[in-house]
Amino acid sequence: MLAWLCNGNERWNGEVRCWVLRGAPEIHLEFGDAEALPLEFKRALLESWIQRNSGREKVWSGYSPDAMRRLADQRLAPDIARFLGDEATPGDIRELLVQHLAPLAVGSGPRLPVWIYGNGP
């Protein structure tokens, strides 16, 4: 239920989004309607999720392909490319980004470098 409370323009929606960023940004990978979230919050939640898991070899995050599709946005393409190109981004997260967000976020916009689908440049 917390993921759905992040949607909206009321002051308390913003407070809930702050709590989620600090405690469990990954809930939007599985629950809620991320399509209705503000773009800046989507950026912040991806950044927070990746930072929380930086340096880990394995990241055990539940996700739903439908939730990931709702999270995707073409305007996130530069952010996703940056995360994918950053060695500090755990491999499991890179894999989720490539499989679920990159194709939807990129669409007809900027192209991701081919090496991103491998292990490095």
In order along its 121 residues, the chain shows pLDDT tens digits of 888 899 999 999 999 999 999 999 989 988 988 899 999 999 999 999 999 888 887 887 788 888 888 888 888 888 988 998 888 888 888 888 888 776 665 554 445 544 444 444 4
Q: What is the pTM of this model?
A: 0.78
Q: Which residue has the tokens 């995050």?
A: 61
Q: Considering only CA atoms, which of 97, 71, 104 is closest in space to residue 82? A: 97
Burial of 11 from C-beta contacts in 10 A (0-12 / 13-18 / 19+): exposed
